[in-house]
Amino acid sequence: MKIAIGNDHAGTDYKFAIISYLESEGIEVVNYGTDGDSSVDYPDFVHPVAKDVDSKTVDFGILICGSGNGVSMTANKYKNVRAGLCWTKEITELTRQHNNANIISIPARFTSLHQAIEMVKTFINTDFEGGRHQNRVDKIAMC
């Protein structure tokens, strides 16, 4: 499995912890995020992740910012991207099962580091249910 990760200054600590977890599981990680805590513009770190997911260069993407909203909005501009904003394991599971999300957006200022890692575990280990949900997912892309 190969995962692209991106973050702004609010998500740097989370990114390093998530990368450590993923690599311990033998998962290849492409790091597009900032490595510091100086203020940066999140779209600069979202676009490379979204491009990799859109082109299927990676299996999944992980985006982290303060609220999770900006990164999610940016990523969802790509036709083949379904970025889900998640703040609990249950929502994470549903965004994979029902929406076939291929990017998880994590709000670092509203989740603990432990929660974030648990959400990533849930995200990469939950399958899309298909069926009636596939019909809905097929109606998402506008162009």
Q: Which of 47, 65, 114, 133 is catalytic?
A: 65
Active site annotation includes 86: no
Residues 6+ apart with CB under 8 A from 139: none
Q: Which of 9, 47, 86, 98 is catalytic?
A: 98
For the beta carbon of residue 136, count every other beta carbon within 10 angstroms. 12
Active site annotation includes 133: no
Distance in angstroms (rounded) separating the CA atoms of residues 21 and 74: 26
Distance in angstroms (rounded) separating the CA atoms of residues 28 and 39: 27
Going 132 to 100 to 77 to 54, the CA torsion angle's sign is negative
Distance in angstroms (rounded) separating the CA atoms of residues 61 and 101: 9
Catalytic residue positions? 65, 98
